[in-house]
Amino acid sequence: DVPAEVLEKLDAGYNKLQGASDCKSLLKKFLTKELLDQLKTKKTGMGATLLDVVQTGFENLDSGIGVYSPDADSYTTFEALFNPIIEEYHFGFKPTDKHPPSDFGNPDTLVNLDPTSEFIISTRVRCGRSLKGFQFNPCMTEANYKELEEKVKTVLEQATGELHGIYYPLTGMDKTKQQKLIDLHYLFKEGDRFLQAANACRFWPTGRGIFINLTKTFCVWINEEDHIRIISMQEGGNLKTVYARMLKGLNYLTSKIEFNRSDRLGFLTFCPTNLGTTIRASVHVMLPKLAANKAKLDEVAEKFKLQVRGETGEHSDSSSGVFDISNKRRLGLTEFEALKEMQEGILELIKLEKTL
């Protein structure tokens, strides 16, 4: 009982993808005609269809991935599409593989990545969580957004010590202040076309906002791509301190709120690239010699399982010479292993830069 209109859009989108010779998305790579026919009549308990999964990739032919999961069930209902995408992005995590139990490790065993402050401008570690009892963006009502915001905000406003801070809702926020927070890399951007096409920006700015601690080293995003993003950041390369602070915030929130975790996929997120540990540990870094050849930089980064982004985040360029380099995979390894993978890779890149 998937409406004819949806089936038509799926067929049209599939043809559009096939005709787009410069489209490099994993959606295009893995959505075969057979898979389309196998999945197009399926629906999740929430009523989500394959179109809800793929329309972001149909509309944005420059997507890297091209899919989001409209609800937690989609990862199983549409697993025939999600699994190969997950396997390719997370360096070979197979349909028979299971994400390990959490192990956050001991932050004190991590290092300062750039003790002489030559290369690294700042370090950031973030993770995402989805709340039990709430659907993902495309299936949320306006009331759900407000309820989730209220719940998280109330908990955050009771945080003490280093985590003590203020919640700033997007609703009613002065545009200049909003832009300043974006430019300083605290706040998420507005109008992301990949999220918009996935129906993830409905009722914007309702329920969206950012909590920031007084020293501006700890933030929580509410209701952007994921229900919450927990972020720790500061100038310089001290990964140890940044990670320890993120854990402090995560532990606090985990003691007050229940999150969605799947046995196989770990913590559940809206985008399959974030599943598992959900951790992205990054540096803003200047590597002028390595970066003189961007293709080479990407190649070396991939070798160390790292991902290179531009200075203002995903899908941005790096005309400034500053790159955002982070661990790429988040699934199939523990949190501590994700941190170690990033640490080792960044240290290698800096070592290489020094030899050039």
Which residue numbers are catalytic? Answer: 126, 225, 229, 271, 273, 280, 309, 314
Least spacing, CB of residue 284 vs ligand ADP, in Å: 4
**What is the rounded distance in angstroms from the CA atom of residue 122 to the CA atom of residue 139?**
36
- Per CB under 6 A, 274 contacts ligand CIR: yes
Query: Of 212, 149, 153, 161, which Cα lies nearest the Cα of 184?
Result: 212
Residue 309 site contact among ligand ADP, ligand CIR, none (CB < 5 to 8 Å, cut-off depends on kind): ligand ADP
Residue 29 site contact among ligand CIR, ligand ADP, none (CB < 5 to 8 Å, cut-off depends on kind): none
The letter for the amino acid at 167 is: Y
Which residues inside 300-319 make contact with ligand ADP, applying CB under 6 A? 309, 311-314
- Per CB under 6 A, 310 contacts ligand CIR: no
Count of residues near ligand CIR by CB under 6 A: 11
- Per CB under 6 A, 59 contacts ligand CIR: no
For ligand CIR, the closer CB: 244 or 338:
338
Backbone conformation region of residue 338, classed left if phi is above 0, alpha if psi is from -120 to 50, else beta: alpha
For ligand ADP, the closer CB: 49 or 123:
123
Least spacing, CB of residue 58 vs ligand CIR, in Å: 11
Annotate 173-232 with three-state secondary structure.
Answer: CCHHHHHHHHHCCCCCCCCCHHHHHCCCCCCCCCCCEEEEECCCCEEEEECCCCCEEEEE
From 40-48, 91-99, 107-115, 118-126, give the range in contact with ligand ADP by CB under 6 A.
Answer: 118-126
- Element housing 122 (H / E): strand 120-129
**What is the rounded distance in angstroms from the CA atom of residue 319 to the CA atom of residue 311?**
8
CB-based contact 66:14 (threshold 8 Å) = no
Q: Figure out which of the listed residues 284, 328, 329, 330 binds ligand ADP, where binding follows CB under 6 A.
A: 284
- Residues lying near ligand ADP in the complex (CB under 6 A) are found at 122-124, 126, 185, 229, 233, 280, 282-284, 309, 311-314, 324
